[in-house]
Each structure stands twice: as C-alpha cells, then as structure tokens.
Amino acid sequence: MADSMQTVPILEVIAHQAELKTFILPRILDAAPGQFVAVWLPGVDEKPFAVSADGPETIQITVKAVGPFTRRLLNCRPGDRLGLRGPFGRGFTLMPDSLLIGGGIGNAPLRLLAQRLTERGLRYTWLAGARRAADLPFLGELQKNPAVRLFTDDGSVGHPGTVMTGWTDALAATPTPPRLVCGAGPEPMLLAVREAARLHRLPVELSFERYMKCGIGLCGQCCLDGSGLRLCVEGPILTEEQMQGVTEWGLPPRGPSGRRPATTPKATRP
Amino acid sequence: MNPLAVRVAGVTFPSPLVLASGVMGLSASSLKRVADAGAGAVTTKSCGLEERKGHPCPTLLPFEHGLLNAIGLANPGVDEMAGEIAEFQARSSIPVIASIFGRTEAEFGEAAARLLARVRPALLEVNVSCPNVGSEFGQPFAADAAASARITGLVKARAGHVPVAVKLSLMCPSIAQVAKACAAAGADAITAINSVGPGMLIDPHVRRPILANQVGGLSGAAILPLAVRAVWDIARTVPLPIIGTGGVARPEDALQLILAGATAVGIGTGVYTGGLEVFGRINSFLADWLDREGLRSLDALRGAAHPARSQEAHHG
Ligand SMILES: Cc1cc2nc3c(=O)[nH]c(=O)nc-3n(C[C@H](O)[C@H](O)[C@H](O)COP(=O)(O)OP(=O)(O)OC[C@H]3O[C@@H](n4cnc5c(N)ncnc54)[C@H](O)[C@@H]3O)c2cc1C
Ligand SMILES: Cc1cc2nc3c(=O)[nH]c(=O)nc-3n(C[C@H](O)[C@H](O)[C@H](O)COP(=O)(O)O)c2cc1C
C-alpha cells in the first residue's frame, strides 16, 4: 500500500547551497508532476514535499531550509533512512505549449513537470524566478535549458525583476498563446498569475500549500474555506474553477490546531 | 416521508449516516462538504478549552487492515469551534454534533458551558474515550464507569435542552456497564466506539515506532466486528439511541450495526477507504434495501438481529 510508511536509504545528496539540497531516493513510488510525498525523519516529524524529478530507479525531492524540520533534513547524509508515504494529491495536466511559472522552491515541482513534458515531446516555456540566484535550485541545469527564462529580484542571475515582468514578453514571444499556465511558488505570486491568466483568458493550474498532516483527506487540516476542498486530495494543484470555490485567498492560513490566526496584526506600541 | 430519516434523542437526521468526530471536522466548510455528500449529521473534531496543535507527525498511518491515528486532539479550542458551528448552521440544515473533551472531569463541564454560551448544536458529544493522549491525560475516562457517569452529569448540568451523547471506548471491562452508568447519569445517547487499542507499528529498518506518539487508536475495517459487538451489548443493556461507529465503509457494514441495535451509523475511516461518496453510496443502498423489503423506515431493522429482543432489552 502506497499510503503506508516505507523507509528507504538516501542514495545521494546534491547541495545546491547550504540551505537548499536535493535528495535522491530509491523509486518506491511513481509520482506525477505536482504530486507530493510525506517525508518522515524518524524521531523528528513528517512533512510534505513535492517530487522534483525521477529516473528509472530514483526519485528526487528538493528541500529548502525554513524551520526546524527542514534544517534537520538538510543535515541528513547518504545512507540515512527516511520514511515515505504517497504520492498524494493530483498533479498538473500534461499539455503541449504549457507556460510554467515558478517562484523559488516552487520551481522544484515544475522541474518534474518539465521533465515529463520533454519525455513526451511536448513544448513548453518556463519562467523560473527567485529573490536571488542562491534561491534557485538547479541553476546550472536551468541555464542550459533553452526553454527556461530566469528572473531574480536582485538581478544576480537572469533578468532583473519578478517572473511577472517576464509574463508579457513570454506571451508576445511565443507564436501561439500557451494552452495551459502552470504555476508553483509563494501564494502572492500564484494569485498574481491567476489574475494575469484571467485577464488573458488562459487556463491555469496552480500549486498551493497549506498545513498538512495526514495526506489522505481525513484530518481536515488542509480543507479550504468555501468549498471545503481538501488540498492534499483534490489539490495541491488547483484549476481556476476549483479556486473560484475558495473564499480564504489572502487570509493567513490555518495552523496545526486548525485555527486561523487573526487577520489584523496586533497593534504594536510605539 | 423520507424512509432513511432517524431520530436520535429527539433530533431528526435525514439519513442514519453520521460523520464521525475527528474526520474533516475542523471547519464549517469541510463539514458542509460532508453534509452535501449525504451525511445525515456531522460531528466536529473534539474540542477543548484551549487550542492544541496535537502530536507531531506521523499522526496517521494507514496499513493493510485499517488505520492508526494519534492526532493528539489537535483543535482550535471551543470558542473558535463555536464560530465554525455557527457558520455551518447558517449554511446547512443538517444537524451538527459538537464533540468536546476535557483534560480533567471539571473541564468537560466548562467546555460544554463555554461552547453552549456561544452556539446551540443539535447534540453535544462527550469524548471520554480518546486513546492517543494517554501519556498526557492518563487512561481514558471511558475505562471507568463511575468517572464517565460523573462527566455525563457535569455536562448534562450545563447542557440545558441540548441532548448529550457520550462517546465510549472498548478500553474497559464492559462497555455495556459504562453505557449503563452514563444512562443513569442522564445521557441521551451513546456513541460507540472510539478507535481501539491503542496499537503500534514499528519500522523494521529504523527500529522504532512509526507514529511520533508511538501508539495510536486503531480504526477502519479491522474494528468492524468489535463495533458490531459493542453496539449489540449496549443495545441489550440500555434503552438509549446508539450512534454505532467503527469500520463502516460498505453498505453491509452499516446494516450490521443497525441490526445490532444502532439508530445511526458513524463513518470516519470510511471517508478514506470509500471516498466522500461513501455517504451517497450507502444511502442509496439502504433506500433500495428498504424498498425491496417493503419497509417504510429503518425502525424494523434496528436491533433485529437480537433474538427475542423485546424481552431481553429490559433485563441485560
Ligand atoms: C503540497 C506541498 C508541497 C511542498 N513541497 C515542498 C518542496 O518541494 N520543497 C520544500 O522545500 N518545501 C516544500 N513544501 C513546504 C514544506 O512542507 C515546509 O517547508 C516544511 O513543512 C517546513 O517545516 P519546518 O519545520 O522546516 O518549518 P516550520 O518553521 O515548521 O514552518 C515553516 C513554514 O512551513 C510551513 N509548514 C510547516 N509544517 C508544515 C506542514 N506539515 N505542511 C505544510 N506546511 C508546513 C509552515 O506553515 C510555515 O509556513 C511543500 C508543502 C506542501 C503543502
Ligand atoms: C483521524 C482520526 C481522528 C479522530 N479524532 C477523534 C476525535 O477527535 N474525537 C473522537 O471522539 N473520535 C475521534 N476519532 C475516532 C472516530 O470518531 C471513530 O470513533 C473511530 O475512528 C472508529 O470509526 P471508523 O472506523 O469509522 O473510523 C478519530 C478517528 C480518526 C481516524
């Protein structure tokens, strides 16, 4: 059963930066682009991560350090065992002439999407953005890929500015409008992509994150307000239609207790 | 008349199928989704006086025959939950059952009072039987008939006109005796059973328990026979309506609990094994079944597996 826990040894670790690494693991499961796995670090915790590439016998996850779990994970070495459950959720649709838009670590699931599109001989353009060069995993690989355009806020690599600055150029440069826009990254970026896609009447599929525990749609942790959609089962990739049923965009997400933090920050004393 | 409608402690459920506590139960929107999928009542996640993040993950572990869970009573707190219940009631006419817990006997009464000061659910469900907080709270209150009865009394004293169901566990010498004690203390219904055990699964390679809490309650297909037997025993001992819960994923499972004496049937893990469609699927099966049997309601099936039930019910 794929949903049950299986532990595997880490085969290889690629350190993109001290705070950004890719783990190569035995291929005990087949994930579609955008699907995720639950990664168990025995004795620590278990958290969701997208699959960022695969090979005949391996799968990869790419992890950015943001807190206690990811920091512990980044200290793991080849031979250490991780538990895996999954794959969970629904992935991106594989569509010719896709426009991929990634922000920071959001480029990880897009990497598997680009891989699948290439395997099927489907054309795509990939706008890969980050705050700075150091936040882009697989920089070398991205720079070699003619379908990729790079953007950094500080201009340390690629075009200066956000992926959204590249949006209009990308639309103008492609002979036919994209058949599907696929996005992954921070939520404000995703909501901007959604707006832009709506303006240009383009179909979108965007990868969202919420606090998740079970991965199988039971614990209720990642249910979105409005339609009650379970992001771990019916997401994490959402279509425009799915997004329309959701009323919580722009609100601070519910935490591990299920409580949504107050919208207005507490008044600070002068 | 709707042939699937049942009455639990004076409350009409349009279907006997109830969303069990702890599954998709943290927000109004997710409860609404389950109501729309065909549940006749929905139960919130158990909430207590204070917000709890619950145990670290893994908290939930599917295996071949069921599921272990050690969520650790993660909940936003009664005040937040009251807000979710109010929103649900504004959006759905399906009865909502508010599940509460306490770390101490007194906290159950306080949680009931705090909740009911803000909102009026169709029923209160008193979770005296969570099996995965033992390291923190000690053994579940449900293991002790006298403690369960005292808690029932404390909640009843605060509940006013809202009927109270007590949620029981098999982690006790006789679930029927606990039910009897709760009935004597004023319980209006019994929900049985909570997840069982607790159990443990160990990863052979890393040689440690997989659940962060080490142990977790067992639910799903593996516990259906235990739930059927528990409902059977309770039905022979107390005259209260029973929300029979445990291992239901197929229509025949629900029917077994009804034949053992349940008025309504809770579904938790079945939402995973059967998908959200589980409610609609079992509803249509039951409607067809009644039609084929020429029955106008589920009444004739309730407890029908008991031999000479009418005499025994008062003696058990
Ligand atoms: C579907 C999905 C796919 C993801 N894919 C990747 C990926 O490919 N690479 C990557 O580096 N990160 C990914 N993440 C995010 C990753 O799960 C979090 O960075 C990680 O859980 C943080 O844990 P922490 O203890 O290091 O940080 P914390 O300090 O605990 O939290 C930092 C941030 O991560 C969020 N977070 C913490 N725990 C969870 C949780 N259980 N579920 C969801 N969010 C959580 C917090 O809300 C907070 O915003 C993904 C998240 C989701 C939901
Ligand atoms: C993930 C999960 C969380 C649960 N949380 C609660 C809870 O908060 N309160 C409660 O009374 N029961 C809780 N339960 C127990 C269920 O309500 C139910 O009694 C039990 O799982 C047996 O039914 P099932 O086999 O249909 O799941 C939980 C069960 C699961 C699987």
Q: Is the pTM of this model over 0.80?
A: yes
What pLDDT sits at residue A264?
Answer: 61
Per the CB < 8 Å rule, is B24 touching A42? no
Do A223 and B77 count as a contact with CB atoms less than 8 A apart?
Answer: no
Best B24, B30, B200, B267 residue to mutate vs chain A (most A CBs within 10 Å): B30
Q: How many residues does chain A have?
A: 270
Q: Would you say residue B17 lies in a domain?
A: yes
Q: For residues A35 and A64, state if they share a domain.
A: yes
Within this chain, do residues A64 and A123 fall inside the same structural domain, yes or no?
Answer: no
CA of B252 to the centre of ligand 1 (A): 40
Write the pLDDT tens digit of every residue in A203-261: 999 999 999 999 999 999 999 999 999 999 999 999 999 999 999 999 999 999 999 99
B203 is a domain residue? yes
Q: What is the mean pLDDT of residues A179-189?
A: 96
Four-point Cα dihedral A177, A180, A182, A187, nearest 10:
80
Instruction: Compute, in angstroms, the gap from residue A241 CA to the centroid of ligand 1.
Output: 25
H-helix segments, B185-250: 224-237
Q: Are both A102 and A200 inside the same structural domain?
A: yes
Secondary structure, 3-state, A255-270: CCCCCCCCCCCCCCCC
* Ligand showing the shortest atom-to-Cα distance for residue A86: 1
Tell me if B206 and A81 make a contact (CB, 8 A cut-off): yes
Is B63–A225 a contact, with Cβ atoms under 8 angstroms apart?
no
Residue numbers in B near A254 (CB within 8 A): 26-27, 76
| A38 within ligand 1 shell (Cβ under 6 A) | no
CATH code for the domain in which residue A69 is found: 2.40.30.10
Structural domain count of chain B: 1
Q: What is the CATH number of the domain that holds A182?
A: 3.40.50.80
Establish whether residue B158 lines the binding site of ligand 2, counting it when its CB lies within 6 angstroms of any ligand atom: no
Closest CA to B70 of B261, B184, B200: B200
SS3 state at B18: strand
Torsion sign across C-alpha atoms A98, A103, A106, A107: positive
Give the A window 82-121 contacts with B, CB below 8 Å.
83, 85
Which residue is associated with the tokens 């059927």? B228
- Residues B10, A148: Cα–Cα separation, whole Å: 65
B272 touches chain A (CB under 8 A): yes
pLDDT confidence of residue A259: 95
End-to-end CA distance of chain A: 57
Residues A52 and A145 in one domain: no
The reply to whether ligand 2 has any atom less than 6 angstroms from the CB of B43 is no
Instruction: Extract the tokens encoding A114.
Output: 């680009």
Which segments of B67-116 does DSSP mark as H helices, in order? 78-91, 105-116
Residue A256 inside a domain? The answer is no
Give chain B's radius of gyration (CA, Å): 18
Would you list the DSSP string of A37-70? EEEEETTTEEEEEEEEEE-SSEEEEEEE--SHHH
Q: Which residues of B touch A215 (CB under 8 A)?
A: 60
pLDDT at position B130 is 79
Token duo for residue A61: 């996850």
Separation of alpha carbons A249 and B106, rounded Å: 39
d(CA B310, CA B315): 10
Instruction: Tell me whether B63 touches chain A (CB under 8 Å).
Output: yes
> Does residue B248 lie within any of the structural domains?
yes
Residue at a domain's end among A178, A207, A236: A207
Q: Which residues does B38 contact at the CB level (< 8 Å), separation at least 6?
A: B15, B17, B279, B280, B282, B283
A106 and A182 within one domain: yes
Pick from B27, B53, B60: which is nearest to A225 by CB? Answer: B27
Tell me if A261 is assigned to some domain. no
Contact call for residues B244 and B258 (beta carbons, < 8 A): yes
- Report whether residue B132 contacts ligand 2, using a CB cutoff of 6 Å: no
Note down the domain range covering A6. 2-88
How far apart, in whole angstroms, are the C-alpha atoms of residue B29 and residue B35?
10
Q: What was the ipTM of the complex prediction?
A: 0.92
Contact (CB<8Å) A1/B64 = yes
For residues A8 and A81, membership in a common domain is answered with yes
Q: State the residue range of the domain holding B198.
A: 6-315
- pLDDT for residue A270: 43
Instruction: Output the pLDDT for position A267.
Output: 52
Q: Could you tell me if residue A214 is inside a domain?
A: no
- Chain B residue numbers with beta carbons less than 8 Å from the beta carbon of A210 are none
Q: What pLDDT shows up at residue B315?
A: 40
> CA-to-CA distance for B256 and A181, rounded, in angstroms?
50
Query: What is the share, in percent, of chain A residues with pLDDT greater than 70?
Result: 97
CB proximity B23 to A under 8 Å = yes
Q: Tell me the CA distances in angstroms from B35 to A109, A138, B16, B60, B119, one per residue in order.
A: 34, 46, 12, 24, 19
**How many folded domains does chain A comprise?**
2
The pLDDT, as a whole number, for residue B6 is: 98
pLDDT at A263: 72
Which of A 221-240 lie inside 8 A of B, CB atoms? 221, 223-230
pLDDT of residue A17: 87
A29 near B CB under 8 A:
no
Q: What pLDDT, on a 0 to 100 scale, did the predictor assign at position A169?
A: 77
Ligand 2: which residue has its CA nearest to atom 26?
A: B268
Rounded to whole angstroms, the Cα distance separating B169 from B197 reads 9
Cα–Cα distance, B154 to B268 (Å, whole number) = 27
| Tokens at A198, concatenated | 């709506």
Q: Which of B112, B96, B120, B116 minimizes the C-alpha distance to B151?
A: B112
Query: What parts of chain B have a pLDDT lower than 70?
Result: 309-316
Lookup: tokens for B110: 């306080």
Q: Phi, psi at residue B2, to the nearest 5°? A: -75, 115
Pocket test for ligand 1, best of A41, A112, A209, A230 (most atoms within 8 A of CB): A209
**Is residue A102 domain-shared with residue A191, that is, in the same domain?**
yes
Q: Is the CB of A98 under 6 A from ligand 1?
A: no
- Structural domain contains residue A129: yes
Report pLDDT digits (tens) over A77-91. Answer: 999 999 999 999 999
Of A152, A172, A207, at which residue does a domain stop?
A207
Sign of the four-CA dihedral A151, A157, A160, A161: positive
Residue A36, ligand 1, Cβ within 6 A: yes
In the predicted model, is pLDDT for residue A67 greater than 80? yes
Closest CA to B42 of B310, B311, B267, B256: B267
A125 shares its domain with A186: yes
Where residue B200 sits, what CATH number does that domain have?
A: 3.20.20.70
Expressed in angstroms and rounded, the spacing between residue B30 Cα and the centre of ligand 1 is: 22
Residue B1 inside a domain? The answer is: no
pLDDT at A61 over 90: yes
- Backbone torsions φ then ψ of B244, nearest 5 degrees: -75, 125
Q: What percent of chain A has pLDDT over 90?
A: 86
Domain match, A179 and A105 both: yes
Quote the radius of gyration of chain A (alpha carbons, Å): 18
Binding site membership of A265 for ligand 1 (Cβ less than 6 Å): no
Residues B47, B130, B172, B182: which is the catalytic one? B130
Average pLDDT, chain A: 93
The Cα–Cα gap between B167 and B21 comes to 10
| Domain contains A28 | yes
Q: What DSSP designation does B71 have?
A: -
> Element (H or E) spanning A96, and its range?
none
Whether A77 and A172 map to the same domain: the answer is: no
**Would residue B130 show up in a list of annotated catalytic residues for this protein?**
yes
Within a domain: residue A253?
Answer: no
Tokens representing B212 are 């962060």
Is A131 in the same domain as A57? no
Tell whether B161 is within 8 A of chain A (Cβ): no
Q: Is residue A161 part of a domain?
A: yes
Instruction: State in Å: Cα A13 to ligand 1 middle.
Output: 19
